[in-house]
Structure 1
Amino acid sequence: MSTAFQRQAKACESLGSPFMGQLIRLFETRPWPEGQIRDRMFHWPGDISPRSQSITLRLTGALHALRLDGHDGLAQVYPPATPDDDTLWGAISAALITDAAKIDRWLDSPPQTNEVRRSATLIAVGHWLADRFGLPIRCSELGASAGLNLNWHRYAMTAQDNHFGAADPVLTLSPDWTGVLPPNTRPQIVAQAGVDLNPLDPHRDALRLQAYLWPDQPHRLALTKAAIGAADTAVTRGDAIDWLSGRLSHEPGQLHLIYSTVAWQYFPETKQHEGRALIEAAGKAATDANPLAWFGMEDDGGNAGAALTLRLWPGDLRIDLGRADFHGRWINWTAPATNA
C-alpha cells in the first residue's frame, strides 16, 4: 500500500499537482480513521498500482467528486485553499467517516478520464497528414472514453504564436512547443467514431470526468467543461480490436486515421498483437487514393512523456513525430517535412 501511495504522489507532483502530492502523502503517513473505507483500502485484493487497479486515484477521485458536488468540509481545504497537513487530514478523515457510503460506491469503478489537452498532438498530426496527402480524413479512436478527443478537429492549438486547428474553436490548447511547426494545411474531417470498453456519456457522466482532474489544476477543468459542452459523438461500447476489425475497409479518396492516446498500452498483449496484425493487413491494401495512418501517443518507457509514433501505408513508413507530456502540457515535435 505504501509503495502505491509513494509512486502516485511522485507522479502527480511531476505532472504539476502539488496538492495531490500533499494529499496522497498523508494517506501514506497518517493513521486512518477506523471504518469501511480504511478496511476496504487496506485489504484490497490484487495489484493496486497505478498501472492496474489504481486504488489511490479511485479514492482521490471520490473525494474530489464530493468537493465538486458541494461538500462543505472539503471546500474549506481544497484549492484554492492552502491548508497545512493537520488541517487537510482532519477534513479528509471526517469525510472518510461521514461520507463512507458515497466513497465506497465510487471505489467500485476504476479511474476514467478524457484528457482534452492530448488533442494538441492530434491537431498537429491532422495538419501534417492533410499537407502530405491532401485528402479528407476519416477517424477511428481506440479507447475513446467519453469521446472528447474525437472532437479534436473542433479545437484549436497555439504554438509559437501560430494558430492551428479550427478557425472558430470551442476551446484552444496552448502546449509548450519545441521543434518545427506543423504545416498550415487545415485537415478536413469527414467522419469520426470511437470505441471503449466502458464509454462514458459526457453529459450524464460529467461529474466523473471532472472528478479525476486534479483540484489545483482549474485550467484542465475549464477545458474539459468546454469539451463536454460541445460533445456530440457517441462512443461504441466494446472491445477496441473487435470493433476496429469491422472498420478497416478502404474508402476511395479518404485517408483513414486510426489513433490512441495513452490507451493502447493498457490493451492485453494478445489484443495488441491481434490489432497490429489487422492494421498491417489493411495497410497492405492501401493505395495513394486511400491511404492508412496509425498514430499513437503512448508510454514507451522513455525518460520523459509519451512517444508520438506514426505508421503510414502504402509503404509501411515508420515516422518518429517526437514526444509529448502525458497531459499535453508540452510537445517536442520532430516530424520530418511532409515531402520527405
Structure 2
Amino acid sequence: MEQESSHAKTTPDLQSAFLKQAEACRKFDSPFMGRLMELLAEHWPDDTALAERFVRWEGELGPAGASLPLRVAGGLHALVLKGRDTQLAAVYPPNEVDDAQLCEVVLTALRRHDDFLCEWVERPPQTNEVRRSAVLIAAAHWLDAQFGLPLQLSELGASAGLNLMFDRYALEIAGQFWGPSNAPVCLAPDWHGPLPLRANPRISERRGVDLNPLRVGRAEDDLRLIAYLWPDQPERFARTRAAMAVLDAEVDRQDAVDWLAGRLATAWPGRLLHLVYHTIAWQYFPQDKQAQGRAAIEAAGQASTEDAPLAWLAMEDDGQPGGAAVTLRLWPGDHHIALGRAGFHGQWVEWHADSR
C-alpha cells in the first residue's frame, strides 16, 4: 500500500519532467529527443529498478532540477555509442522509424540494461557546449579593447574545460571572423545587434574547476561527454570532438566557490585582468554557495587596481523565455554591464555591447 501511494504521488512529477524536457528539446532543434521524451512520458515502465529509484528521488525532477529525463536519454545514447545494443542503435538517428517501433525498442532497452542505467543516472548530466564560447570570444575582445591587458581565466563549472579554450576558436558573423584564421572550431551563431569589437585578447593563464571534471582522453569520460549530445545533431558531435582534440587546460576537482577563494587570494605577477566566468553553471550552485561566491568576488573587486582589474562574466538563465542573460561586472568601480542574451546552447546571440 505504501509503495502504491508513493508511486501515485511521484509519477505525475516524472511525466511532467519528461514533457518539459520534450518541449525544450524541440525548441533547441532536436525533434528526435522531443519524440523520445514524449514517448517516455506516456509509456514509462514501472517494472524496473530505475523506475523504483526515480520514485524515491527527492526534489525537482525536470530541467530546473535533477534533469532525470536527460540522465535517461544520456544513458540510452551511451549504450548506442558503446555498441552494447544493436537493436537500440537501429532506431537511433540517422535511422528513421515510427513511434511504435521506437517506443518498443527503447522500453526493451530500459529493461535489458536496467543495472547499467541505474548506475549511469547517479551522476548528473554533464555537457560542455562549445557554442557558448561565442559570447566568451566577443567578451574577451571587448575587455581587451577596454584594458589592453592579458587575461587570466578562472572558469566555474568547467566540466571538461572545452570553453577554457575559447581563444583557439573562431567566431564568424556575416562573413567576418574573430579569432585564429586556422581555428579547428568555427562558431557561427545567429547574431543580432552590433558586431563585437576587434582587439587582440591574450591568455596568460587558464584554469577551471568542477565537482566532477571530465578528463578528455579517458574512455569513460569521453563517452559521458559525447552521450549527452543529442543524437540528431551531428554538427554538435563534430564541434565537440574538434574542441576535444585541441584541449590544453586543467580543470580541478573541487567545490567551485572554495577553489575560487584561493584563486582570488593569489597574487599573480605582472599586469593582468582576472576574468572569472561561468556559463549555465551558477544556477546549479546551492544558494549558500552562491552567496559565498558573490561575497568573495565582490571583496576581491574592492581590492582590485587599475593594473590588476577583475571581471565577472556570467551567461545564466534570467527567467526570460528561451535563453540566458550575458552580464559583466568590472572592478575597480563595480561597473554593471549588460552585454546581451544568448541561447542556452549558444545557437543565437543578441549582443548589446557598444561596438565603437
TM-score range, shorter chain: over 0.9
* 2:219 paired with 1:206: no
What's 2:20 paired with?
A: 7
Determine if contact 2:156/2:276 at 8 Å carries over to the other structure: yes
Aligned counterparts of 1:192 and 1:156: Cα–Cα separation in 2: 18
What's 2:280 paired with?
A: 262
Q: Which moved more, 1:133-142 or 1:41-50?
A: 41-50
**Partner letter of residue 2 of structure 1?**
Q
Determine if contact 2:158/2:208 at 8 Å carries over to the other structure: yes
* 2:145 paired with 1:131: yes
What's 1:231 paired with?
A: 247
Of 202, 219, 228, the residue aligned with 2:235 is 219
Aligned counterparts of 2:104 and 2:292: Cα–Cα separation in 1: 50
Aligned counterparts of 1:101 and 1:266: Cα–Cα separation in 2: 27
* 2:72 paired with 1:59: yes
Shift of 1:33: 6.9
**Partner letter of residue 252 of structure 2?**
T
What's 1:191 paired with?
A: 205
Determine if contact 1:305/1:323 at 8 Å carries over to the other structure: yes
Aligned counterparts of 1:306 and 1:79: Cα–Cα separation in 2: 29
Pairwise mapping of residues 14-163 of structure 1 onto structure 2 (< 5 A)? Answer: 14-30=27-43, 32=45, 34-70=47-83, 71-163=85-177
**Partner letter of residue 34 of structure 1?**
D
1:108-129: per-residue Cα shift (whole Å, max 9, x none)?
2111111111011101111111
What's 2:342 paired with?
A: 324
1:39-98: per-residue Cα shift (whole Å, max 9, x none)?
333443443222222211111100000111123112211111221110101110221122
**Partner letter of residue 240 of structure 1?**
A
> What SS class does the counterpart of residue 246 from structure 1 fall into?
helix
Shift of 1:29: 1.1
* 2:297 paired with 1:279: yes
Aligned counterparts of 1:31 and 1:192: Cα–Cα separation in 2: 44
> What SS class does the counterpart of residue 235 from structure 1 fall into?
strand
Shift of 1:31: 5.5
Of 311, 318, 339, the residue aligned with 2:329 is 311
Determine if contact 1:150/1:233 at 8 Å carries over to the other structure: yes
RMSD: 1.5
> What SS class does the counterpart of residue 56 from structure 1 fall into?
helix
What's 1:290 paired with?
A: 308
What's 1:334 paired with?
A: 352
Shift of 1:227: 1.2
Determine if contact 2:154/2:207 at 8 Å carries over to the other structure: yes
Aligned counterparts of 2:347 and 2:151: Cα–Cα separation in 1: 26
1:229-286: per-residue Cα shift (whole Å, max 9, x none)?
1122221111111111111245441111000000111111111111111111111222
TM-score, structure 1 as length reference:
0.95
> What SS class does the counterpart of residue 310 from structure 1 fall into?
strand
TM-score, structure 2 as length reference:
0.91
Q: Which moved more, 1:27-36 or 1:164-173?
A: 27-36
Structure 1 residue runs of 5 or longer lacking an equivalent are none
> What SS class does the counterpart of residue 86 from structure 1 fall into?
helix
Determine if contact 1:151/1:231 at 8 Å carries over to the other structure: yes
Q: Which moved more, 1:51-60 or 1:29-38?
A: 29-38
Aligned counterparts of 1:135 and 1:36: Cα–Cα separation in 2: 55
Aligned counterparts of 2:169 and 2:232: Cα–Cα separation in 1: 24
Determine if contact 1:201/1:234 at 8 Å carries over to the other structure: no
Q: Which moved more, 1:31-40 or 1:185-194?
A: 31-40
Q: Which moved more, 1:29-38 or 1:133-142?
A: 29-38
CA separation of 1:241 and 1:40: change in aligned 2, threshold 3 A = closer
1:207-228: per-residue Cα shift (whole Å, max 9, x none)?
0000011011111111111111
> What SS class does the counterpart of residue 325 from structure 2 fall into?
strand
Shift of 1:337: 4.2
Determine if contact 2:195/2:355 at 8 Å carries over to the other structure: no
Aligned counterparts of 2:15 and 2:190: Cα–Cα separation in 1: 34
What's 2:4 paired with?
A: none
Aligned counterparts of 1:80 and 1:41: Cα–Cα separation in 2: 30
Determine if contact 2:71/2:125 at 8 Å carries over to the other structure: yes
Determine if contact 2:155/2:278 at 8 Å carries over to the other structure: yes
1:118-167: per-residue Cα shift (whole Å, max 9, x none)?
01110111111111111111100011111111111111110121101233
Identity %, equivalent residues: 51
Shift of 1:299: 0.5
Determine if contact 1:324/1:330 at 8 Å carries over to the other structure: yes
**Partner letter of residue 131 of structure 1?**
A
Q: Which moved more, 1:49-58 or 1:170-179?
A: 49-58
